Chain A
């Protein structure tokens, strides 16, 4: 039943892509509706700013639309749009670090504007994980967040960040060790 539903969904996506390619922009709305929330979330995970995440999601969808002719029919749209938004977000981060060197994450935490208000509504453990993630070096933090929070696979992360799968695993392994140390009081410090 689930497989049938997934197949149905995929065929809708394939049809939407084909129609968009044929010059019917209204068909693109299906793809926007399906992927928008996660695209915003991926962007937010990198830039940590709601306004920027919103703009980046918008830009990613417009770019994907403009280049839809190059998209191979039958391929899943998700990895492609995630890759576009990741690249755009990384450009923003690079630009920021060129413009000013100071850390932005703490300063902009207050700009999170979504249903999950970290301070008030999420539990203490999630807040501790968030704090621990913030202490990681940039690439480890990004990879760990994509894997733990966005639940992307190693392969998907490698594609999005233009890294090899081995590098992704290595970042993840280092991140895991540091997270485990920092969260030892919650999860225990060593293997049982």
Chain B
């Protein structure tokens, strides 16, 4: 018997092994599926559906506002930390080395 013929016969004889759900089972499963896909949304689901995009928009707005305030604050404050030539010369001594000797000048 060829391999194909063997499988053909096997398939024919194995047909009763197929699980054949009865009408009760299929009706029950179909009803459950219907119930799940057609069930109206619960109050919490409706609220979540509305509030999720709202919360996302508010979060984005809050982030943008915070970043804006920080940027404005930084750009408007005078920078007092930047050293000027005057401040440097007022506080530091000037060192000059010549011929192995170091000379310090206090301006």
Which residue numbers of A lie inside 8 Å of B, CB to CB? 25-26, 28-29, 32-33, 36-37, 40-41, 44-45, 50, 53-54, 57-58, 61-62, 65, 112-116, 118, 121-123, 125-126, 129-130, 133, 145, 147-151, 176, 179-180, 183, 187-188, 191-192
Contact = CB atoms under 8 A, between A and B. Distances in A.
A176 B13 contact: no
Chain A interface main SS type: helix
Contacts of B18: 41, 116, 149-150
The 4 closest A-B pairs by CB, nearest first: A44-B19, A122-B16, A41-B19, A126-B16
A62 B29 CA distance: 11
6 contacts: A28-B37, A29-B34, A62-B33, A114-B20, A125-B13, A148-B14
Chain B interface main SS type: helix
A191 B4 CA distance: 11
Nearest to B11: A148
Nearest to A128: B13
Contacts of A29: 30, 34
Question: What class of interface size applies to chain B in its complex with A?
Answer: 20 to 34
A178 to B, nearest CB: 12
Given A32-B30, A58-B33, A129 B20 contact: no
Contacts of B1: 187-188, 191-192
Nearest to A53: B19
